[in-house]
Amino acid sequence: MSKARTWIVVVLSALMLTASAQTAQIDWRQSEGSTLVVGGIKHAYTAALEKLIPQFEELTGIDVHLEVYSQDEFMNKRLIDLSSGSGIFDIVMLDQAIVQYARAGWVDALEPYFEDPTLVDADAYGMDDYLPAMIGEGRVDGNLYGLPVTAAVQMLFYRKDVLADAGIAVPTTFDELYAAAVELNQPGKMAGILLRGQKIHSAWSSVGFVWSYGGRIMNDPVAPTAATFDSPEAAAGIAMYAKLLRDAGPLGAGNYTWYEALADFQQGKAAMYIDNAPFMGQIEDPKASTVAGKVGYAPMPAGPAGEYANSLAWMLSMSSSSKNKDAATLFLAWATGAQMALEIGQAAGTSARESFYASDWVGEHYPADWAETFVLSTKRANPESGFPRIVEIDEWLDIYGGAVNATILGTGTAQKNLSEAAAAMNRVLR
Amino acid sequence: MTNARTTSRRRPLDLGSLVGTVTLLIFMVAFFLPIAWAVLMSLKTQVDALSMPPKWWFVPTLENYLTVWQDGRFATYARNSVVIAVSATGIGMILGVPAAYALARFRVRGQKAILLGILSTRMMPPVAFVIPFFILFTRLSLRDTPQAVIIMHVSFILGFVIWMMRSYFRDVPRELEEAARVDGCNDYQAFWRVVLPIATPGLATSAIFAFIFSWNEFLYAMVLTTMKAKTLPLGIYNWIAYEEIMWGELTAAAVIAMIPVVIFYFFIQRAFVRGLTMGAVKG
Amino acid sequence: MIESRIGSPLAGSTARNGRDRSTRRRSLPFVFLTPAFLVLLAVNAAPIVYAVVTSLQDYYLPFPAKRAFVGVENYANIFGDPRFWNSFKHTLIYVGVCITIQVVLGCFIAVLLSQQKRGVGFIRGVLLLPIIITPIAVAFLWRLMFSPSLGLLNYLLSLLGLGPFEWIYSPSQALPALILVDVWQRTPEMVLILFTGLLAIPDELVEAGKVDGANPWQLFWSIKLPVLKPFLMVGLLFRVIDLAKVFDVIYILTGGGPGVATETLSIYTYTTGFTFLRMGYSSALGLLLFALIVSLALLIIRWGEVKID
């Protein structure tokens, strides 16, 4: 290399190193002096964000207030604020309610902001890096309303020691799972399997079962108009879900939320547990769990129609009544962009970007079987959205979840409960 | 306590009072046990807190208390709670006690309607009115201020204070006020100098319940505040995270939240006892 | 209603300066009553009107443009809604059983306490603890204590050889479990109100009864209870009102579940409004709950002969 070239390389490298790793070709200080309020739930993600926000404030000169609440509280506050147009929150964390908020016009579609080259550098941002299942959760009616910041997928947690002692191989199908759960079930001491049973919580949890048996929740993945969860395939899936809990689940499973299930598993009261992959963090934490180091991670078992695990993502969205939308865009681009992904992901223990799970850090910090299973499960496309794309999402949780719950409690067969629920759901759909 | 008991009655009475005391103690244990459990949990780590069979012997830790105390927002919540509870109780008593007296002693036109009207504010279920109140306070630009919460609390407290104190005032013998008037007092002086001191046990009871109500009120405090005016009960919710309930911190926060009320109770307690020993009621 | 009470303000007493008091309008009632009344009116008037207006509309929160007046349609739908009747039933059972237990137990403990000679202040302090501790924390605590696998209750019962219960995790046991929690938290309130009332009973009355040979039960029933009655009725009145309104504790413990096994009218009102976003319907439900509470209150006032005039 000529001397000049060498110099250029050296200078450019120096510049890159000192530019605080933000290579996006935009003016980060364009909204200097404004204030942003970000509303979220108490979560490892927001804890991570809180620590890293000063970096953003220094970079942009924008003052950011992160307000964190418990989930129930936040859902009320978010609803009241965004629906009344008060504009207290500029950015909010959204879950399955995104469909409702998008169609009601309470959050803005992000394309106009993200396609503006003065606000977001598309190359630096890296939209393609997102796990397909996760970014799909943010799309409503063809537009992108939310950027995923966490990623969860159903996974099978099992006690390596318990299965080994009983000489049982890790189940790969639901029938194997059932057999193993029944054999390992010791009522009063250790349940064979844990699943969420409570009305609202069992909804998301059981959808993976429905898919695995060939059923579908709604008649259309993008703009559904009718419920289809009363099909014989769906009923078979729910029947298996209920059977597992009735024959090998803990006492009181009919009202178990993840609070109870996770706590039971952490205290060694169950042999197997199917739930959110990120719970691995709590399971492996010796300060909270007595079974740290004894747990194996496998994909959710397969049904007759294949292996389908449900996925879930929390997203960041922009309130349509925000008075600082440019500043909000800068924040969104920074917080969810590829450049901060690794740092935030490490602090939060979760990310919606593929690059995070391929990183060395994950390899060093997470059980190998977990990381492998996670990527495998999230790369598989979901046959429809994890939560139906309807505005009446909460009624779906109540009606469909109610049918699953009733089946678990033994009131009626799966088919009967689901048929009644589907009829009720169709009456509700406007 | 000397009395005219005959010696022949002594034995059966003692047995009776022993049984009474023991029964009382059993109830005390039943009421106290969950509190004791909460205190124990506040001194345990998460993994110990949930262990079953319960760990009676464990290494206690003050870490939870430290975490709660050092949470920057805790001081704000505590301060808000104190301001709100003291103000609401104070205003509630100042407005309510005289009103109760007026309704107890004087023939007021439309009395029945007034009393029922006052009660009706207490009867309004928060779930139904939370949103209208949210809108009201937003229009008044009072959202997320302690004033909004104080106003709501006063509204509830007034009903209770007025009804409760009315009962107590009706029990005060009129002779006392008559005597005062003969001495030249007007209505207000009679109230202030004679009736109020006698009614101290009732005042104390009303005040303590009013304070506790405001201190622990959750629903309106949650809806009407966002950041600046949050109170302690909302702070408890901070320890409900997405993936777990942080029992140590939650119970530590609950225990800390109890302390100011206990202190308030001890102050009131003295007034209570003082009122009892006044004895004028029993002549 | 004319009542000639000795010492009635209208009985012609005269002040020192000779002016007949009974002809002068007493300012005290007006001065003392008006501030409280005004505050209550000012605070509550607008929201009540808003709630009533909303209850007459079809208002689905995500689509405010479609908000429309529908008269009493919401109310008509409510009466045909089985979930409403279910929640109505649960509210009545919850209120009825809780208040019965709390009154009986409250009286019992208050009497025991009044006969205690020593440690009364201490016991009253202990009794206050369940009331003082934040209800939210109480709810989470009991939720843990109710856990079939990790809870204290099943553990203690197992020491006595009693089988594991499902408590709030079973549709049949959930409502009794909720009642247990409220009894635990609120009986002390009754005890304290009644205890204060018992203190007002003149000693001579009790002594006279004892001299007549009355046993403790008769003493209580014939002598103490009548004097206690006004306090009891007011305490009961407020407890019933609060019981019908209960929301946060039930919400945290069961959320109205399993299924809808513990869904009270309060919870259902919340669900239709905040979860299903059907604001008109929710307002109507809330106003019906309000009407229920008013009815219960009037009933107690009538039956308990609570003197309000």
CATH of the domain at C227: 1.10.3720.10
Structural domain includes residue B112 = yes
Whether A371 is covered by a domain: the verdict is no
Which residues in chain B are closer than 8 Å to A288, comparing Cβ atoms? 46-47, 244
Whole-number pLDDT of residue C24: 54
Domain contains B283: no
* B60/B113 same-domain check: no
Answer whether residue C4 is part of any domain: no
**Nearest CA-CA partner of C241 in C291, C276, C203, C283:** C291
Reply yes or no: is the peptide bond before residue B53 cis, omega within 30 of 0.
yes
pLDDT reported for residue C18: 42
Residue B52 φ/ψ, nearest 5 degrees: -135, 120
Q: Are residues B167 and B241 in the same domain?
A: yes
pLDDT band at B1 (very low <50, low <70, confident <90, very high): very low
Does any CB of chain B come closer than 8 Å to the CB of residue A124? no
Same domain for B156 and B40: no
pLDDT of residue A69: 86
Determine the Cα–Cα distance for residues A422 and C68; give it in Å rounded to an integer.
28
What pLDDT sits at residue B276? 56
* List of chain A residues whose C-beta atoms are within 8 Å of the C-beta of residue C254: 255
**pLDDT tens-digit series, residues A196-247:** 999 989 999 999 999 999 999 999 888 899 999 999 999 999 999 999 999 9
Top pLDDT among C33 and A420 is at A420
Cα dist from B47 to A42, B68, B253, whole Å: 20, 18, 18
Do A87 and A183 belong together in one domain?
Answer: no
C216 and A CB contact within 8 Å: no
**Whole-angstrom distance, CA of residue A394 vs CA of residue A98:** 11
**Least confident span in A24-33, B139-148, B158-167, C24-33:** C24-33
Confirm or reject contact between C167 and chain A (CB < 8 A).
yes
Nearest to A255 among C63, C164, C257 (CB): C257
Residues in chain A with CB shorter than 8 Å from the CB of C259 are: 199, 402, 405-406, 409, 411
- Selecting from A191, A252, A269 the residue whose C-beta is nearest the C-beta of C169 gives A252
> Which residue reads 């292996």 in tokens?
A307
Q: Please write down the HEC assignment for all residues of chain B.
A: CCCCCCHHHHHHHHHHHHHHHHHHHHHHHHHHHHHHHHHHHHCCCHHHHCCCCCCCCCCCCCHHHHHHHHCHHHHHHHHHHHHHHHHHHHHHHHHHHHHHHHHHHCCCCCHHHHHHHHHHHHHCCHHHHHHHHHHHHHHCCCCCCHHHHHHHHHHHHHHHHHHHHHHHHHHCCHHHHHHHHHCCCCHHHHHHHHHHHHCHHHHHHHHHHHHHHHHHCCHHHHHHCCCCCCCHHHHHHCCECCCCECHHHHHHHHHHHHHHHHHHHHHHHHHHHHHHHCCHHHC
Run of H or E including A298: strand A295-299
Share of chain B above pLDDT 70, in %: 89
A233 within 8 A of A215, measured Cβ to Cβ: yes
pLDDT, position A430: 62
Do B235 and B197 form a contact (C-beta atoms < 8 A)? no
**Residues B186-195: tens digit of each pLDDT:** 888 888 888 8
Q: Do B218 and B231 fall within a single domain?
A: yes
The string of pLDDT tens digits covering residues A371-418 is 889 988 888 778 888 889 999 999 999 999 999 999 999 999 999 999
Residue B282 belongs to a domain: no
- Band of the pLDDT at A62, cuts 50, 70, 90? very high
Tokens describing residue A413: 């067969």
Q: Does B26 touch chain C (CB under 8 A)?
A: no
Residues A212 and A327 in one domain: no
Domains contained in chain A, number: 2
Does residue C16 register a pLDDT over 50? no
> Residue B129 has which token pair?
């009115």
Binding-site residues on chain A for chain C (CB distance < 8 A): 72, 75-76, 79, 83, 100-101, 103-104, 106, 188, 191, 198-200, 250-256, 260, 263-264, 267, 269, 391-392, 394-395, 398, 402, 405-406, 409, 411, 430
- As given in the structure block, the two tokens for residue C248 are 């946060």
Q: Looking at the predicted structure, is the pLDDT value of residue A6 above 70?
A: no
Residue A57 C-alpha, separation from nearest chain C C-alpha, in angstroms: 34
Q: How confident is the model at residue A261 (pLDDT cuts 50, 70, 90)?
A: very high
Number of H helices, E strands in chain A: 20, 12
- A365 located within any domain: no
- Distance (Å, whole) CA A89 – CA A77: 10
In chain A, % of residues over pLDDT 70: 95
One domain, residues B56 and B78: no
Q: Does B146 lie at the interface with C, CB-CB under 8 angstroms?
A: no
Judgement on whether residues B121 and B158 belong to the same structural domain of the protein:
yes
Q: Is A246 exposed, middle or buried (0-12, 13-18, 19+ CB in 10 A)?
A: middle
pLDDT band at B218 (very low <50, low <70, confident <90, very high): confident
Contact status, residue B88 vs residue B150, Cβ threshold 8 Å: yes
Query: Which member of C61, C64, C258 has the closest CB to residue A255?
Result: C258
Q: How many domains does chain C have?
A: 1
- C232 neighbourhood in chain B, CB within 8 Å: none
Q: What is the percent of chain C where pLDDT is above 90?
A: 38
Report the complex ipTM.
0.81
In a domain, residue C156? The reply is: no
CA distance, residue A406 to nearest chain C CA (Å): 7
Q: Which residue range(s) make up the domain with C264?
A: 28-132+171-303
pLDDT in tens, B235-254: 888 787 766 788 888 888 88
What's the CA gap between A35 and A56, in Å, rounded?
12
Q: How confident is the model at residue A14 (pLDDT cuts 50, 70, 90)?
A: low
Rg from Cα positions in chain C? 25
Q: Count of CB contacts below 8 A, A vs C?
A: 85
Task: Give the pLDDT confidence score for residue A314 in this predicted structure.
Answer: 93
Residue B238, chain A, CB below 8 Å: the answer is yes
Q: Residues C266, C267, C268, C274: what is their CA dihedral angle, to the nearest 10 degrees?
A: 110
Pairwise pLDDT comparison (C15 vs C297), residue with the higher score: C297
Q: Which domain holds residue B209?
A: 65-276
Does C175 map to a domain? Answer: yes
- Judge contact between A359 and A147, C-beta under 8 A: no
In this structure, the answer to whether residues A201 and A261 fall within a common structural domain is yes
User: Which span out of A14-18, A327-331, C132-136 was modeled with the highest average pLDDT?
Assistant: A327-331
- Taking Cα atoms as reference points, which of B169, B171, B196, B201 lies closest to residue B185? B196
Provide the pLDDT for residue C10: 42
Task: Report the candidate in B215, B212, B203, B208 with the shortest Cα–Cα distance to residue B94.
Answer: B203
Residue B51 C-alpha, separation from nearest chain A C-alpha, in angstroms: 6
Cα separation, C286 vs C272, in Å, equals 10
Task: With 0.90 as the threshold, say if the pTM is over it.
Answer: no
Number of domains in chain B: 2
Whether omega before A117 lies within 30 degrees of 0, making that bond cis, reads no
Decide which of B13 and A167 is more confident. Answer: A167
Domain finish residue from B64, B89, B105: B64
Closest CA–CA distance from residue B47 to any residue of chain C (Å): 12
Contact B138 A86 (CB under 8 A): yes
CA distance A108 to chain C (A): 14
Instruction: Give the tokens for residue A99.
Output: 């469909």
CA dihedral C51, C54, C60, C64 (to 10 degrees): -110
Least CB–CB distance from B222: residue in A73, A286, A289 = A73
The pLDDT of residue B9: 46
Three-state SS for A156?
A: strand
Q: Within a domain: residue A63? A: yes
**Which whole-number Å values give the CA distances from A418 to A255, A390, A412, A413, A424, in the listed order?**
19, 18, 10, 8, 10
Res. C99: pLDDT tops 90: yes
Q: Which domain-ending residue is among B17, B46, B64?
A: B64
Closest alpha carbon within chain A to C64 = A104
Specify the 3-state DSSP secondary structure of A118: coil
Predicted confidence at residue C12, as pLDDT, reads: 42
Domain membership of residue B256 (yes or no) is yes
* Residues A80 and A127 both lie in one domain: yes
Spell out a b/e string for C238-277, using b for 16 or more CB atoms within 10 Å of the CB, else e: bbbbbbbbbbbbbbbbbbbbbbbbbbbbbbbbbbbbbbbb
Give the CATH number, domain containing residue A131.
3.40.190.10
Closest residue to B128, CB basis, from C10, C127, C286: C286
- Note whether B95 and B181 are same-domain residues: yes
A364 belongs to a structural domain: no
CA A145 to CA A316: how far, in whole Å? 8
Residue A275 clears pLDDT 90, i.e. is over it = yes
Lowest mean pLDDT among A276-290, A306-320, A372-386: A372-386
Domain boundary among B64, B80, B111: B64
How far apart CA A386 and CA A394 sit, in angstroms, is 14
Average pLDDT over residues B28-46: 89
pLDDT score for C15? 44
Residue C155 lies in a domain: no
Q: What residue in A sits closest to B247 (Cα-Cα)?
A: A288
CB contact under 8 A, C290 and B237: no
Does A188 fall in a domain? yes
Mutation target to probe the C interface, by most C beta carbons within 10 A, among A251, A257, A266, A408 is A251
Do A286 and A338 lie in a common domain? no
CA dist., res. B202 & res. B100, Å (int): 12
Rounded Cα distance, B42 and B248, in Å = 4
Q: Are residues B100 and B121 in the same domain?
A: yes
User: What pLDDT, in 10s, does the model give residues C71-90?
Assistant: 899 999 999 999 999 999 99
CB-facing half-sphere around the CA of C200: CA atoms within 13 A: 25
Nearest-angstrom CA–CA distance, A237 and B270: 66
**Mean pLDDT for chain A?**
89
pLDDT of residue B112: 84
CB contact under 8 A, B34 and C145: yes
Q: Residue A336 and residue A332: Cα distance in Å, rounded?
A: 6
Residues B96 and B121 in one domain: yes
Judgement on whether residues B22 and B101 belong to the same structural domain of the protein: no
CB contact under 8 A, A262 and B243: yes
Per-residue pLDDT at A316 exceeds 70: yes
Alpha-carbon gap: A264 to the closest alpha carbon of chain C (Å): 7
Chain B: closest CA distance from residue A72 (Å): 9
In this complex, which chains have at least 3 CB pairs below 8 Å with chain B? A, C
- pLDDT recorded at residue A20: 46
In a domain, C92, yes or no: yes
Residue A150 backbone class (left: φ over 0; alpha: ψ -120 to 50; beta: rest): beta
Q: Is residue A368 part of a domain?
A: no
A343: left (phi over 0), alpha (psi -120 to 50) or beta: alpha
Can you give the pLDDT at residue B2?
41
User: Any idea what the CATH number is for the domain that residue B167 is in?
Assistant: 1.10.3720.10
The reply to whether C88 falls in a domain is yes
Based on the domain organization, do B141 and B235 belong to the same domain? yes
Q: Please tell me what DSSP assigns to residue A169.
A: P
- What is the spatial distance between Cα B41 and Cα B56, in angstroms, rounded to a whole number? 10
A73 CB neighbours in chain B (<8 A) are 222, 234, 237
Which chains would you list as touching C if contact means 3+ CB atom pairs under 8 Å? A, B
Nearest to C44 by CA among B91, B211, B158, A84: B158
pLDDT at B11: 47
Answer yes or no: do B47 and B114 share one domain.
no
CB contact under 8 A, C193 and B205: yes
Q: What is the CB neighbour count within 10 angstroms for residue C309?
A: 12
Give the domain range for residue A408. Answer: 152-311+377-429
The predicted-structure confidence for C175-216, as pLDDT tens digits, reads as follows: 999 999 999 999 998 888 888 777 777 777 777 777 777 776
Query: B with C: how many residue pairs have Cβ under 8 Å apart?
Result: 271
> C308 pLDDT band (50/70/90 cuts)?
low
- Amino acid symbol at B79: R
Query: Taking 80 as the threshold, does the pLDDT of residue A52 lie above it?
Result: yes
Residues A331 and A390 in one domain: no
